[in-house]
Amino acid sequence: MTYQRILLKLSGEALMGNLGYGIDPKVVAEIAEDIAQVVAQNVQVAIVVGGGNIFRGVQASAKGMDRATADYVGMIATVMNAMTLQDALERMNVPTRVQTAIAMQEVAEPYIRRRAIRHLELGRVVIFGAGSGNPFFTTDTTAALRAAEIDAQVIFKATKVDGVYDSDPVTNPNARRYESLNYNHVLTNDLRVMDGTAIALCKENNIPIVVFNLFERGNIIRAVKGEKVGTIVGGFCDVN
């Protein structure tokens, strides 16, 4: 295996599949199956999951809701997703812990860095819920922060597209998919791989980001093995 400890970033939208809202149990089970394959290879897996399938703080704020309040509601939505994913993993006999940045002691552990690392060392998947615990920060930034804290070797950002393009491939059939990029190119050209704060954190801590299509079965294990999947940000790049 190329990596021993990874952080997987899942969007909330990924969990709803083709539904317009909420969680599709079939999709969650398929994601859990792919993660279980990685764990079976003795790779330590941490996960940050978004909450956009249930509630988006930014959108609610744009409609008049207080931004901080909206962001806190969004953080709670990520915990719902984290618990759902935990259930799917444990039904496959993959030991899993949810840690939250907002105390919810009846349903999850509080986020404690050393405890999270110990769980990983013992072969447990750790899912980080409630974002960073602070409003005005995205779950992308949380992924970069947690990856740095736990010394993850890479962030895998599993999305609905098969990498990073120079323009929208849906509207531009001639859009070019990058094989690799550096952090500065992403920031300068606003490529929306992750938000700027997340990219800056990854650059500062030299954490590569691999962006790939979550819905192509087996992509997670292929990425962990170091196969060419999607686009890699950081390290050797074809765009400087």
User: What is the number of other CB atoms lying within 10 angstroms of the CB of residue 217?
Assistant: 14
3-state secondary structure 156-209: EEEECCCCCECCCCCCCCCCCECCEECHHHHHHCCCCCCCHHHHHHHHHHCCCE
169 is in an annotated binding site: no
Angstrom distance (rounded) from CA 23 to CA 91? 17
137 is in an annotated binding site: yes
11 is in an annotated binding site: yes
167 is in an annotated binding site: no
72 is in an annotated binding site: no
User: What is the number of other CB atoms lying within 10 angstroms of the CB of residue 102?
Assistant: 18
159 is in an annotated binding site: yes
34 is in an annotated binding site: no
Q: In sequence order, what are the residues at sequence separation of 6 or more whose Cβ sits closer than 8 angstroms to the Cβ of residue 204?
A: none
74 is in an annotated binding site: no
Task: Sheet containing 109-110: give its strands across.
Answer: 109-110, 96-100, 125-129, 44-49, 5-10, 154-159, 209-213, 231-233, 180-181
50 is in an annotated binding site: no
Cβ 186 vs Cβ 199: under 8 Å? yes
In the numeric block, which tokens belong to residue 58? Answer: 């930014």
168 is in an annotated binding site: yes
196 is in an annotated binding site: no
197 is in an annotated binding site: no
134 is in an annotated binding site: yes
56 is in an annotated binding site: yes
51 is in an annotated binding site: yes
- Helix residue ranges, H only, the chain: 25-39, 57-62, 67-90, 113-121, 139-149, 183-188, 196-205, 219-224
163 is in an annotated binding site: no
17 is in an annotated binding site: no
Which residues participate in the annotated binding site for ATP? 9-12, 52, 56, 159, 165, 168
Residues flagged as binding site for UMP:
51, 71, 132-139
Q: Which residues are annotated as a binding site?
A: 9-12, 51-52, 56, 71, 132-139, 159, 165, 168
